Amino acid sequence: MALFSLAVLCSGRGSNLQALIDATSTGTLPARIAAVCSDKPNCTALTRARQAGIATRSLRQRDFPDRAAFDRALFADAAQFAPDLIVLAGYMRIIDPAVVAQWQGRMINIHPSLLPKYPGLRTHQRAIDAGDAEHGASVHYVSAELDGGPVIAQAALPVVAGDTAETLAARLLPLEHHLLVATARLIATGDIALEGGRVVRDGRPLPAPLRLAVDGKLVAA
């Protein structure tokens, strides 16, 4: 059977992409990354992909008349690699709903909050401002609603006295890497899927998102 294949979309630093690259090369993640696509032709993520020998594609919004045309073109580029799954790993654009619909159940996103809390931007600061005791990250199937699709798994960490958005983000990032790799693994192995709009594990709907445990495994909440 062909190895499960991923297309990863990134806009920036690409540390989550790097975690996926490393996990595919060690075999922790039984998958291959067929392509990395970006809306930012000069981003570090594309450099990381090239260094790993992965095909890259990038397009600029300014070369397209509108968002939908850009999205259709970028996702057509990704589709040429026939990925089983598209992973949004620090991809910082809202995607046209018609394009999202084409990839329903085959596209996931990592978001730095415990969804449904704090969709959108400035998630770390919003968690601090709200006085939250706990913050975290979520991996979810992408739906037309921004950061609103069914959540598969989450990683949580305590907010401590004196935390700033920067310190919180820095502590969360390594957890994000484990969370994304572990979730992609469950999808690649066929343990998790989206069925009827719900996350299903081994044929049964998940009552709550899985949680990242200290040993790096995803467990029932």
Which residues does the annotation mark as catalytic? 111
Q: Give 173 or 200: the residue with its C-beta nearer to ligand GAR.
A: 173
The reply to whether 211 sits near ligand GAR by the rule CB under 6 A is no
The widest CA-to-CA distance across the chain, in whole angstroms, is: 51
Q: Which residue number is nearest to ligand GAR in terms of Cβ?
A: 90
Stretch that binds ligand GAR, among 10-18, 47-55, 190-198, 213-221 (CB under 6 A): 10-18
Burial class (CB in 10 A: 0-12, 13-18, 19+), 15: middle
How far is the CA of 127 from the CAs of 16, 115, 131, 135, 216, in angstroms?
Answer: 21, 11, 6, 7, 24
Q: Give 15 or 28: the residue with its C-beta nearer to ligand GAR.
A: 15
User: Considering only residues 28-67, where is the footprint of ligand GAR by CB under 6 A?
Assistant: 45
CB of 17 to ligand GAR, least distance (A): 6
CB of 178 to ligand GAR, least distance (A): 13
Q: Quick one: which of 176, 179, 192, 209 contacts ligand GAR (CB under 6 A)?
A: 176
How far is the CA of 183 from the CAs of 105, 113, 214, in angstroms?
Answer: 14, 16, 15
Q: Which helix (H) or strand (E) holds 144?
A: none
How, if at all, do strands 151-158 and 134-141 pair? antiparallel
The reply to whether 15 sits near ligand GAR by the rule CB under 6 A is yes
Half-sphere exposure of residue 209: CA atoms within 13 angstroms, side-chain side: 22
In whole angstroms, what is the distance from residue 187 CA to residue 88 CA?
Answer: 14
Assigned token pair, 217: 């495994």
Q: Quick one: which of 7, 74, 89, 175 contacts ligand GAR (CB under 6 A)?
A: 89
- What character string, x for contact with ligand GAR (CB under 6 A) and - otherwise, covers 108-137? --xxx------------------------x
Residue 202 gets which letter from DSSP?
Answer: T
Q: Give 82 or 92: the residue with its C-beta nearer to ligand GAR.
A: 92
Residues in touch with ligand GAR (CB under 6 A): 10, 12-16, 45, 89-90, 110-112, 137, 176
